[in-house]
A and B are shown apart, each in its own frame.
Chain A
Amino acid sequence: MTQILDPLMIIALALNFVTLGVSRIRGVINAVALQGILLGILPLFVHPEIGVRGVLLVLVTICLKGIVIPRFLFHAMREVNIQHEVRPVVSYMSSILLGAVGTGLAMVFSYTLPLAEEHTNLLLVPASLSTVWTGFLMLTTRQKAIMQVLGYLLLENGIFLFSLLLLKAMPLLVEIGVLLDLFTAVFVMGIIIHHISREFASISTEHLTELKE
């Protein structure tokens, strides 16, 4: 199982760095979408025996994370007619370095975690923690609202990776519910982004500073 799983995990980790280093928002959306598709097919390798339920989950995940949400974000970008550069607060180079440090720490930390016997040698847990870290990094160091949505998506991707360890515990209904909530969240955020761009003629959250003490 690990022979197939580990290379896939490494691709997922590499995509984290792509999201931090690419300068076009389009590129970031594509990377997150690709990671979503990758995550979508993983259950088939982790739990080959789960049958129809698993296939359904795979289809829904790929549809939402790989196709619907990215399309919606592209649509939102066209709609608000924004500039296509990420323009981060922290430079691309520093972002990637921070991402690398986080990934390294995630690896070390995973070894100290009291994991169950069958999970100790999997890259799944470090990949999950590192993706969560990348999500937080993006949420805090990018000002454009759409990048913050992408950061939230990365965070959710990381949590999804962890959930693969317990696919048997999570009922399908709840998994679908989580995905549906994710989609609705992105949908509502998209609408708000639309309003932000209309109100301020930009989607940078640096304009959102009127409310403070």
Chain B
Amino acid sequence: MIYLLILFPLVMAGVMFAVPSNRWRPWLLPVGALGHLALVAAAIYRPGNGTALAGLDGWLLLDALGKVVLGFLTVLFFLCSLYAPGYLALRADRPNRVLCANLFAALSMMTLVTLSHHLGLMWVAMEATTLVSAPSIYFNHNARSLEATWKYLLIGSVGIALALLGTFFLAYASVKSVLESTLLLDQLIDVAPQLSPPWLHAAFVLLFIGYGTKMGLAPMHTWKPDAYGEAPGIVGTLLAGGVTSCAFLAILRIYQICIAGAEADFAREIMIFMGLLSMAVAAVFMARQRDFKRMLAYSSVEHMGILVLGVGIGGLAVYGALLHLINNGLTKGVLFLSAGNIHRAYGSKLTDNVCGAIHRVPISGAMFLAGFLAITGSPPFGPFVSEFTIVSAAIGSGQFLAGGLFLLLLGVVFIGMGATVLAVVQGDPPARTTDKGYHDTIATCAPVLFFMALVLLLGLYVPPPLESLLREATLLIEVKR
């Protein structure tokens, strides 16, 4: 079963590569995604079976944290795959064989990250997601996307190489303490109190920088605006929602070891600082941003900051951060896909040329505006709930500085992002830009509406099964006092 979760998307990637028809290939995406969704649902619920799903002598194990990320990933991928046929039909001029195959390969590798309980294996899977998603960024085959792909590949690979060094440092922390050296997460957690603290610190810093580069935390975020700006909306959604969440999970795994080794305070200080820094950098670059797809990338930098900040604050905020992982990813789906539609309708992604989207593409324009309100934490949408949880946890535990800065930066981001979004949505469509032949259709708008519906649902009501799963996952990364 656990192997099937990884192998099924990999087989689908092969099938995609083999299908000759450029026209029919995208229709297999939703089919494969539905299959993965069903497999994951079966793996998470497993009625009448109390033991955890495991494989390869404990290298693979589906625990509560893994369930949260994997369950979210498969929903995200499924909704994106619904968007693919409509979008790729518009881009019939471009061959989509590599894109479709790589989407499935990336899904397989992301699944492997969520299941890995061996830090070496997790690293291999994480690096593999970088490699298989790089060609998708180059989908448009022009100079700009080439530049974006090169930066993504090089910065991502170097960052993740540092994570490998950190992984080795972690293994060395046990050698130094004359223990049996291991990279199995559960064994490391067991021996964590005896690990050599200097090596554990160094390992955490390197792993945080390495996987933080993949998450796109400032100041390692420089690849992000380029990659998200040039990649198709569907790839942007999967990068901003999927790959970054996997990197966040990798950081949480290391944090688990730090907690067990009574080094959580060290890690939390770093996370609070880096979280606030990411939010601040994003806020600066979002102000007066003319390219609305790059703006979304900075929004992603901001929300990655919120995730690590939430874990750094601790207590109830950890629950908030895990909920925010889901909320942010789903809202990014609304934003990236509707931004992609607007991009199609105007043939430009600069606010100089794009205005009055609400008139030219009413549904996409409205969803872009609603997505903006949701992502900046306006009620009644999901991100409001998770961000509010984080703030109240910060205030409740007496961390007024972190909580206050968090609120301040959210306000700055709201203003900066609002200026760009309103410029895109409002006004009259410019007469000089010709009609590019794109109009809102069911195929390109329904998935956006589905994303929006989920974001709204999570804002009004967190379903009890999800709630209990999140609580269970929170227990794994809670500091025991």
Contacts and interface: CB of A to CB of B under 8 A. Distances in A.
Contacts of A184: 128, 131
Nearest to A180: B124
A132 B161 CA distance: 10
Interface stretch (B150-158, B363-371, B379-387): B150-158
Contacts of A178: 120, 123-124, 164
B446 interface: no
B1 to A, nearest CB: 21
B199 interface: yes
Interface string A145-176: 10010001001100100110110111101100
Contact of A139 (B131, B150, B158, B183): B158
A109 B176 CA distance: 17
Nearest to A170: B120
A101 interface: no
Nearest to A155: B161
Contacts of B157: 152, 185, 189
B114 to A, nearest CB: 17
Contacts of B67: none
Contact of B172 (A152, A165, A171, A173): A165
A14 B172 CA distance: 27
Q: Name which of A116, A145, A152, A181 has the most chain B CB atoms within 10 A of its CB.
A: A181
B interface secondary structure, majority: helix
Given A178-B123, A195-B138, A211 B171 contact: no
B146 A196 contact: yes
Given A116-B176, A159-B161, A192 B127 contact: no
A112 to B, nearest CB: 10
B121 A169 contact: no
A174 B143 contact: no
Interface of B: 118, 120-121, 123-124, 127-128, 130-131, 134-135, 138, 141-144, 146-151, 153-154, 157-158, 161, 164-165, 168, 171-172, 174-176, 178, 181-183, 196, 198-199, 225-226, 229-230, 285
Contacts of B150: 145, 192, 196, 205, 208
B158 A210 contact: no
Nearest to A178: B124
A151 to B, nearest CB: 8
Contact of B196 (A114, A132, A168, A169): A114
Interface string A106-127: 0000000111100000000000
A188 interface: yes
A72 interface: no
Interface of A: 113-116, 132, 139, 145, 148, 152, 155-156, 159, 162-163, 165-166, 168-171, 173-174, 177-178, 180-181, 184-185, 188-189, 192, 195-196, 199-200, 205, 207-211, 213
B198 A192 contact: no
B302 to A, nearest CB: 16
A95 B165 CA distance: 24
Contacts of A181: 124, 127-128, 131
Contacts of B161: 152, 155-156, 159
Given A116-B172, A152-B158, A188-B135, 6 more contacts: A159-B161, A177-B120, A189-B157, A211-B147, A211-B229, A213-B225
Nearest to A139: B158
A138 to B, nearest CB: 11
Contacts of B172: 116, 162, 165-166
B181 A166 contact: yes
Contacts of A195: 138, 141, 146
7 contacts: A132-B165, A169-B183, A170-B171, A185-B131, A188-B134, A210-B147, A211-B229
A169 B175 contact: yes
A102 to B, nearest CB: 16
A170 B183 contact: yes
A185 B181 contact: no
A126 to B, nearest CB: 15
Contacts of A208: 146-147, 150-151
B153 A211 contact: no
A115 B196 CA distance: 10
Contact of A192 (B130, B153, B178): B153
A116 B196 CA distance: 10
Contacts of A209: 147
Nearest to A167: B181
Contacts of B182: 169
Contacts of A192: 134, 138, 146, 149-150, 153
